[in-house]
Amino acid sequence: MNFDLTAEQDQLRDAVRSLGRRYGHRYFVEKAKAGEHTTELWHEAGRLGYLGVNIPTEYGGGGGGITDLAIVCEELAAAGCPLLLLVVSPAIAATVINRHGTEEQRKRHLPGLADGSQKIVFAITEPEAGSNFHRLATTARRDGDDWVLSGRKCYISGVDEAGHVLVVARTEDTASGKLKPALFVVPTGAAGMTWSKLDMEIVSPENQFLLYLDEVRLPADALVGESLDAGLPALFSGLNPERITVAAMGAGTGRYAIERASEYTATRSVWGGRTIGSHQGVSHPLAHAAVQVELARLMIQKAATLYDAGRDLEAGISANMAKYAAGEAAALAVDTAVQALGGAGMTTEYGVATLLGAVRAGRIAPVSREMILNFVAQHVLGQDKSY
Ligand SMILES: Cc1cc2nc3c(=O)[nH]c(=O)nc-3n(C[C@H](O)[C@H](O)[C@H](O)COP(=O)(O)OP(=O)(O)OC[C@H]3O[C@@H](n4cnc5c(N)ncnc54)[C@H](O)[C@@H]3O)c2cc1C
């Protein structure tokens, strides 16, 4: 087993870390509180090639894999800038289009995703379906050559920043009643598509939206792939990259919080000359959180390596485990860091409590810890499906 990154990946990690530190958590929070986006950071990362590391070179990307994109996600988060749209645009949308889109769709969308000039966000969740995507009710109806989409989506991140939304719909005439998903690249300016912002208790420059599709008419080539048969594999192809990159973001956030707290506890002294970090009641919880974050990083590395080797099924198990582990570790790390910082932990200035909402959401989205445990129970432990 080899734990070494390639020389290029090492350089990528260093370079992204220094970019992230130049912006830092203060910038991230100021943008969030002003209701603005991290546009400067996004565009600079795009210009430097970091947003397209996993996109093939012929479409303007770096020609790497999800391992590389996970490095970008982790290092920006470790600098205090956990950018959720990295998970939806380069990880999910670029993977789906690259693996299952037509050549025309690859040429149309991938260069813009690679240089960051375009964002494609992802819409699967629906109010009535929730975790059960078999209940998706957004329909795609054929009308001549066109497709007509109708339905409602919720919690969709970044709609206001994106040029397109990758919408998961179901074809209307499924006689069997089984889900036949189809994916469509819908321009945010399409007639009939509207959205409204959800108020979320998360400090983030990226927002969530309710998305309404009211008889949205699309040309035939909005359907991802050559035919409806591309739908299910296309949908599944986005899942592993999603879980791996969101896990990397969680691990980076955990590292960031532990670093902030450790710097503080190593220098703050309230009992004579001893630092508060010399008290094991303070240092052990931080050390415990550091162990959990490091374990999660190991599983992220395994999942990304398997995925990049084309071993999708094994990668699926590891990606789910990595997402679970990183979600728990990030929540633990941020909570522990807040505690170690005492009152300072709750201030905006120290920049840790600002992450409480985000890491809490990381145990729910994009797939909840319970649904991962269901998956592991069924596919690893051989238990009957419980739902
Ligand atoms: C910050 C944020 C960003 C998001 N961004 C996007 C996005 O960009 N695009 C998108 O499509 N969606 C997005 N989502 C939605 C997210 O993927 C869903 O919230 C998530 O999949 C859970 O669905 P739900 O909220 O409907 O919960 P529900 O399905 O209603 O579940 C509620 C609770 O019940 C549990 N539960 C449900 N079924 C079972 C079961 N069978 N066994 C055990 N427990 C179960 C769940 O684990 C959860 O704890 C986002 C959500 C958040 C919070």
- Determine which residue's CA is closest to atom 7 belonging to ligand 1: 156
What is the distance between the alpha carbons of residues 161 and 109, in angstroms, rounded to a whole number?
16
In terms of domains, do 58 and 151 share one? no
Q: How far does the centroid of ligand 1 lie from the alpha carbon of residue 125, in Å? A: 8
Residue 265 domain flag:
yes
Nearest of 312, 316, 319, 365 to residue 99 by alpha carbon: 312
How many angstroms does the Cα of residue 154 sit away from the middle of ligand 1?
10
164/287 Cα distance (integer angstroms) = 43
CA–CA distance, 323 with 320 (Å, rounded to integer): 5
Inside any domain, residue 339: yes
The model's pLDDT over 24-50, given as tens digits with 9 standing for 90+, comes to 999 999 999 999 999 999 999 999 999
pLDDT digits (tens, 9 = 90+) for 140-197: 999 999 999 999 999 999 999 999 999 999 986 555 666 689 999 999 999 999 999 9
The reported pLDDT for the residue numbered 368 is 97
pLDDT computed for residue 170 by the predictor: 94
Q: Which domain holds residue 107?
A: 7-119
* From 86, 119, 120, 125, mutation site for ligand 1 pocket: most ligand atoms within 8 A of C-beta: 125
The Å distance, Cα 204 to ligand 1 centre, comes to: 18
Examine the domain organization and report whether 111 and 190 are in the same domain.
no
Beta-strand ranges (E) seen in 237-346 are none
The total of structural domains in the chain comes to 3
**Best CA proximity match to 243, nearest among 88, 124, 51:** 88
Q: For residue 245, what is the enclosing H or E element?
A: helix 239-265
Domain final residue pick, 67, 90, 119: 119
Q: Are residues 132 and 114 in the same domain?
A: no
238: tokens are 């986005």
Residue 175 confidence (pLDDT): 59
Q: Are residues 278 and 346 in the same domain?
A: yes
Measured in angstroms, how far is the CA atom of residue 134 from the centroid of ligand 1?
Answer: 14
Question: Residues 226, 281: one domain?
Answer: no
The b-or-e profile of 175-203 (16+ CB within 10 A means b, else e) is: eeeebbbbbbbbebebeebebeeeeeebb
User: CA 10, CA 22: separation in Å to the nearest integer?
Assistant: 19
- CATH number, position 196: 2.40.110.10
Position 144 in a domain: yes
pLDDT at 174: 52
Whether residue 302 is found in the same domain as residue 341: yes
| Residue 106 CB coordination number (10 Å) | 19
**What pLDDT is recorded for position 240?**
96
pLDDT of residue 251: 98
270 with 367, same domain: the answer is yes
Q: What is the pTM of this model?
A: 0.97
Q: For ligand 1, what atom is nearest to the CA of residue 386?
A: 41
**Are both 252 and 359 inside the same structural domain?**
yes
Asked whether residue 169 is domain-assigned, the answer is yes
**What local confidence, expressed as pLDDT, does residue 177 receive?**
61
What CA–CA distance (Å, rounded) separates 287 from 284? Answer: 5
Q: How far apart are CA 18 and CA 12, in angstroms?
A: 10
How far, in Å, from the CA of 11 to the mean position of ligand 1? 36
Asked if residue 1 belongs to a domain, the reply is: no
Q: How far apart are CA 287 and CA 269, in angstroms?
A: 19
pLDDT of residue 147: 96
Contacts of 85 (CB under 8 A, 6+ apart): 42, 119, 121, 157, 158, 161, 206
Q: Which residue has its alpha carbon closest to ligand 1 atom 37?
A: 131
Averages of pLDDT over each 10 residues, the chain, 387 residues:
87 98 98 98 98 98 98 98 98 97 98 98 96 92 95 98 97 66 97 98 98 98 92 91 98 98 97 94 98 98 96 95 98 98 98 98 97 96 91
241 and 127, same structural domain? Answer: no
The DSSP line for 84-125 is THHIIIIIIIHHHHHHHS-HHHHHHHHHHHHHTS--EEEE--
Domain identity same for 324 and 342: yes
